[in-house]
Amino acid sequence: MSTTYKVPIGPVHVGLKEPVTAWLELDGERIVGARVRPGAIHRGIEFMARERNPIQVIYLSERICGICSFSHVLCFIRAIEDLAGMTVPVRGQYIRTLVLELERVHSHLLWAGVACYTIGFDSAFHLGMQLRERVMDILELLTGNRVNYGVATFGGVRWDVTPELAKAMREMIRYYRREFTPFRDIVMDDPIAHARMRGVGVLTGEEAVRYSATGPTARASGLRIDLRKSSPYEAYGDIPVEPIVPQDHFGAARGDVLDRFAVRVMEVYQSLDVLEKVLDGLPEGPYAAEANLNKVLASLKKAEGTGWGIIEAPRGDDTHVVHLKGGDENVYWWKVRAPTYANAVSWPLMFRGNELADAPLIINSIDPCISCMERMMVTDGRGDPRVVTRAELLERCRRKTFDMMGRRA
């Protein structure tokens, strides 16, 4: 007869960067069951948005996440542009793509470093952090800040890419092509790193579909999904991006932590290629549609409707839905679905059969951003706690898709 024990990882744990609790059921060292309990870091950002106008909410949405802050900003801005019917000059779109990819590079490098730290490979962690400094410097040169750039605005961007900046970026791309490969080889050829990551936290392709994994987590399980390809936005229409899946590079997709590591590492190279193409194709012209903020505010005050913004953030699909009411200056409601929310559902599957010591690594392997994920629960106020079944959810989802297709046709 075996006895199982319940052990919590978190909410505060040395292996976690943000508070989340995973209640693990252990049989000896082996995890036989898991239950993830978020809820320790809800900040009520959507509520704060209701007493601010869209321009103020740009900076609020920037603070949803410190790492993929530009993704959230852009997603929010695209939602507003969608509902107000604003257009963005091509140069603005290219600069947005540029910042998105710079952010992807820095996010993946940070994650790769932290993953090494989680398996106790501290020297590689420091190497990763050292590599990341270069892209942070470029972001600082371009936007003035290392995080929370404040670079996007409705109808374009706020700062231009000067020729000197473009030169510095090309130099950065060369630096990474030269210096990133040793880092990749150090980790991917290391027998201990292999032992810690191979076969750990497996999520099969079929499970990834069933549990709606997104971004690198889904791609590591072999799913060819990338919004930059399936629904191009900004400059991705001009710059084709192929989803990176492990079977193309290593023969098979195992969906374990090493595959997630490999996918992110390959995506850094892909981002460098995209950055180069953006710099090559950067068109001349204005980078913002409307410089007068008063006019922007006035036009947004008149706008009414619901807008959507969906982009491929470094961690997966990021979705923002915003509603503005005509005549009301403030945001009426705003819904954020951060990628971690979709990926965290797969945690219990990844834990199966692994050892307790691997739990922090598995949690970190989806690159979680807990505070981005923690969103409000909706109640209709009548206290009717109803569970929506999977079939019903699918039905609603299809209906909504048809509605949207009809609207855009």
Partner 1 sequence: MITRMVPRLLKHICLRFVTNLFPAPHMPPSLTDALAEPAALTPPVPVGQRFRGRLNYDRAKCIGCRLCLRVCPANATDYIPEEKKILIHNDRCCFCAQCTEICPVKCLTMSGDCMISSYARKESVVTDTGPVQTDVKA
Q: Residue numbers of the site for partner 1 (CB under 8 A)?
A: 52-53, 55-60, 123-124, 127, 140-145, 148, 150, 158-159, 182, 185-186, 189-191, 293-294, 297
Which is nearer to partner 1, 109 or 142 (by Cβ)?
142
What's the closest the beta carbon of residue 320 comes to partner 1, in angstroms? 17
CB 347 within 8 A of CB 376: no
What's the closest the beta carbon of residue 55 comes to partner 1, in angstroms? 5
Other Cβ atoms within 10 Å of 289 Cβ, number: 16
Q: Please state, in angstroms and rounded to a whole number, the distance separating the CA atoms of residues 66 and 136.
A: 13
In the block, tokens 């892209």 appear at 135
What's the closest the beta carbon of residue 125 comes to partner 1, in angstroms? 11
Q: How far apart are the first and last CA of the chain?
A: 62
Which is nearer to partner 1, 145 or 204 (by Cβ)?
145
Kindly give, in sequence order, each residue whose CB lies less than 8 Å from that of residue 90, ignoring residues fewer than 6 positions away. Answer: 235, 283, 285
Q: Which residues are bridge partners to 26 per DSSP?
A: 5, 31
What's the closest the beta carbon of residue 51 comes to partner 1, in angstroms? 10
Which is nearer to partner 1, 151 or 350 (by Cβ)?
151
Which is nearer to partner 1, 134 or 375 (by Cβ)?
134
Residue 178: name the closest of 134, 241, 124 by CA: 134
What's the closest the beta carbon of residue 104 comes to partner 1, in angstroms? 21
What's the closest the beta carbon of residue 128 comes to partner 1, in angstroms? 12
What's the closest the beta carbon of residue 62 comes to partner 1, in angstroms? 8
Q: Please state, in angstroms and rounded to a whole number, the distance separating the CA atoms of residues 396 and 137.
A: 45
Which is nearer to partner 1, 40 or 297 (by Cβ)?
297
Which is nearer to partner 1, 3 or 294 (by Cβ)?
294
Which is nearer to partner 1, 34 or 64 (by Cβ)?
64
What the block records as the tokens of 213 is 């994994």
What the block records as the tokens of 136 is 């942070």
Tell me how many degrees the CA angle 214-188-123 measures, rounded to the nearest 5.
Answer: 105
CB 73 within 8 A of CB 265: no
Which is nearer to partner 1, 123 or 379 (by Cβ)?
123
What's the closest the beta carbon of residue 59 comes to partner 1, in angstroms? 4
Tell me the C-alpha to C-alpha distance, in Å, between residue 134 and each of 35, 79, 99, 146, 339. 39, 31, 14, 11, 26
In the block, tokens 């949803």 appear at 64
